[in-house]
Structure formats: structure tokens, C-alpha cells
Amino acid sequence: MKIIDLSMTIREGMITFPVHWHPSVEINQLGRFEVEGRETRKVTIGTHTGTHVDAPRHFIKQGNTIEHVDLDKFYGEARRVDFTELRDKTEITVEMLQSALGNQTPKRILFQFDWDLKTDSLAYYSDHPFLSTEAAQYLVNQGVVLVGFDSPMPDNPLNGRGSDNDSPNHTILLGAGVVILEYLCNLRDIDKDTFILSALPIKIENGDGAPVRAVAIIN
């Protein structure tokens, strides 16, 4: 068995979405061996920092919060689809999905763009490929329970925040109870078509999302 870490390291200075509702990471050492005889730290982190999942409540006003989402959505057989040849800002259509997936659509799909190689630039947030709204609805119709991305979101990065066209794919997917797993990394290291995904979230009361330690388990 091989376990591949698909998670970003939480650290000060890591990339976070540049708006006030996504705080920067702060890590402060409180316990010290020289004084308290042990180490402890205070960590300030947002619910959508680093590798994390979105609960329906993120975009659906009366949607489930993270502690009420069925855990079996976060664990089970998954498939990676390789879209690394796409140009920046490419819209993924239903036809492109069907071509990549063939006759069987798994319940959990991870989209590989190798976008985690771009986390040293704000282009990480502005240039990534994204799903068309029709493709998002197609995944819902196929019974998908989780979609994951090694990019920050499934939506067009050019959509205006707070506009009528803000993040329609989030609304489609989360409105149907599909979990969105974002900010993955190292998908290129998965060497099998199917594997076990574990992306269990921190149990946060009334959480609109939560950080996860996502791994691929390959037998």
C-alpha cells in the first residue's frame, strides 16, 4: 500500500484568496520548552485555507454545515482525470468530460491541472481552467458526490465576486449536496486510474467548510 499526500502545508505566508473574508495564516508559539516545559501553538486559519472542502453552507443559505455532511462522501474510490494539457482559462465542457471519463463516471473525481505548481503567483487565482455550468450540472446528474481540484475553484476565475454571475458552479454543485475539494496538490504522483481518497474535514460547528488532510491510498 502507498499513501500519497495531496495536501498543502499550512504555514505563514502561504497563498490565500486576497479578500478580507479569507484571513492569512498566523502561527504563534505559546508553549516553550525553556519556560512551560512543552511546545504549543496558536493557529489562525480560515475555513477555506489550503487544502479544504466546501460544505453546502458556503454558498447555500440554508445548506448543510460541515459537521452534518455525510462522512462517506469524503472517503472512498476516486478517479483522477488529467487535464494538464489545457491552456490557461480553458472552459471544460460536457463533451470534454465525457471524453475523459468514458462510459463510467465515478462518485469522486479529482481534476488535475498541475495548478499547484503556480502557488507562488496570484495567477493561481486568475488563470486556471474551470468547469462550464453545463459540465457542473452533468456531474450532478451523474451522481457524483465529490469533485476535487488542484486549483482554487471550479468556477470561471473572471466571474465578478458578488455579481449575479459569481461562482455559479459552486451553487450548482453545493446546492445538490456535492462536496467541493480545493487546493489539492501532487495529483501527478498518483500512478493508478482509481484509488481510495480520504479527505476527512475538521469537525467545525456551523462550518461552511473545513481544512482537510487529503491523501490518495493506492493498493
Can you list the domains of the chain with their CATH numbers?
Answer: 2-8+47-218 (3.50.30.50)
pLDDT average per 10 residues of sequence, the chain (219 residues): 97 94 96 97 97 97 97 98 97 97 93 97 94 98 98 89 76 98 98 95 98 97
What pTM did the predictor assign?
A: 0.96
Q: State residue 142's pLDDT score.
A: 97
Q: How far apart are CA 210 and CA 45, in angstroms?
A: 10
Q: State residue 164's pLDDT score.
A: 59
Q: State residue 162's pLDDT score.
A: 53
Which set of grid coordinates corresponds to residue 177?
A: 449536496
As a whole number of Å, the end-to-end CA separation of the chain is 4
Q: State residue 163's pLDDT score.
A: 54
Q: Which of 143, 191, 189, 187 is nearest to 199 (CA)?
A: 187
Helical spans, DSSP H, in the chain: 94-101, 123-126, 133-141, 168-175
